Amino acid sequence: MTDLVPTSPDLTFVLGGARSGKSAFAEGLAAQSGLPVTYLATAAVSDEPEMRARIAHHRASRPAHWETVEVGRDLAGALRDTVREGHCVLVDCLPLWLAGWLCPPDDHPDGPADDTQWQGVVDTLAATLVSLPGKIIVVSNEIGLGVIPMGSVTRRYVDELGRLNQRVAALAPQVRFVVAGLPIAVKG
């Protein structure tokens, strides 16, 4: 994104590949802040054993005194409800939140978002991120480094996540890319 955009005063964006250590790094940043932490979990509860195990692993890795809020589609609303001065909010992660919009379960009443609806959701999230006080850490996957995926749904998902990542990175004064557990400063 080349347009000049306002930035959130204390927004850190953490990117990395699958199992890169990005969540552990982001959790470390939250713990080091010395502030009370609220963890906004974007993973939908699943009947799949593998996904349940992933969620359990993430829950077990977080300190017990952190508040956890399960976020549905309304990430901007959850941020408005939890972010405040003298507090740290950790959002983990944007790809699972995006999946809830573009690839919801078959029984979801609204179905997948069309392009216009999704753009409105992203605009609302961006406006919310730059308007809030407090420390915000947002985690996402960088999935645009591999092959072009087969199938229109998967290509749309990769494209939209790439655009979402660019939008959040443009707003964040600090962007870190985690590779093999090692954070690299990309911005700030």
Q: Catalytic residue numbers?
A: 58
What 8-state DSSP symbol labels residue 20? S
66 alpha-carbon distance from chain centroid? 18
* Distant-in-sequence, close-in-space partners of 82: CB < 8 Å, separation ≥ 6: 38, 40, 67, 69, 89
By CB atoms closer than 10 A (0-12, 13-18, 19+), residue 115 is exposed
Give bridge partners of residue 92 from the DSSP assignment.
41, 139
